């Protein structure tokens, strides 16, 4: 048993159409690293070019937002569930 990672609907086409996967990981960062190693096409949608989590990608460990824990250093153990949840933003260009 490892850490379950729940993949949001818009990213499933890049993860072999799966809604979740299991990885062995001691932190959230490790889990996301394993996930994007297994499914390389996910990387550009989760991370910016300099390797930071995109601002509209929200990650929860057992329903706790990692922004209020230790971010990507948040520890994980077997049986935990990591959920990747989108937030949505947009609007007119700057200057309008």
Partner 1 sequence: MATAPTLKMSSEIAQKIREHGAETYPHECCGALLGRDDAGTDGIATAGGVQLPLREILALFPLVNRREDSPHNRFSVTAEDVRDAEKAAREKKLDVVGWYHSHPDHPARPSQYDREHAWPWYSYVIVSVAKGKPAEMTSWRLSDDRSEYACEEIAIRDHAAR
Contact call for residue 87 and partner 1 (CB under 8 A): yes
Contact call for residue 68 and partner 1 (CB under 8 A): no
How many residues form the binding site for partner 1 (CB under 8 A)? 25
Residue 19 or 22: the one with the smaller Cβ distance to partner 1 is: 19
Contact call for residue 70 and partner 1 (CB under 8 A): no
Query: CB 1 → partner 1: shortest distance, Å?
Result: 25
Among 2, 4, 43, 45, binds partner 1 (CB under 8 A): 45
User: CB–CB of 27/58 below 8 Å?
Assistant: no
Stretch that binds partner 1, among 25-33, 68-76, 80-88 (CB under 8 A): 80-88
User: CB–CB of 21/35 below 8 Å?
Assistant: yes
User: Rounded CA gap, 57 and 95, in Å?
Assistant: 26
Task: Encode burial over 20-44: b for 16+ CB neighbours within 10 A, e otherwise.
Answer: ebebebebbbbbbbbbbeebeebee
User: Rounded CA gap, 1 and 66, in Å?
Assistant: 22
Which stretches of the chain bind partner 1, using CB under 8 A? 8-14, 17, 41, 44-45, 56, 58, 65, 85-94, 96
């Amino acid at each position: 048993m490892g850490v379950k990672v729940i993949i949001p609907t818009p990213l499933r086409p890049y993860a072999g159409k799966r809604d979740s996967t299991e990885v062995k990981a001691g932190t959230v960062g490790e889990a996301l690293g394993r996930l994007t190693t297994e499914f390389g096409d996910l990387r550009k949608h989760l991370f910016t070019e300099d390797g930071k989590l995109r601002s509209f990608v929200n990650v929860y460990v057992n329903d706790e937002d990692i922004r209020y824990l230790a971010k990507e250093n948040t520890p994980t153990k077997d049986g935990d569930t990591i959920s990747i949840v989108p937030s949505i933003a947009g609007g007119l260009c700057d200057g309008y």
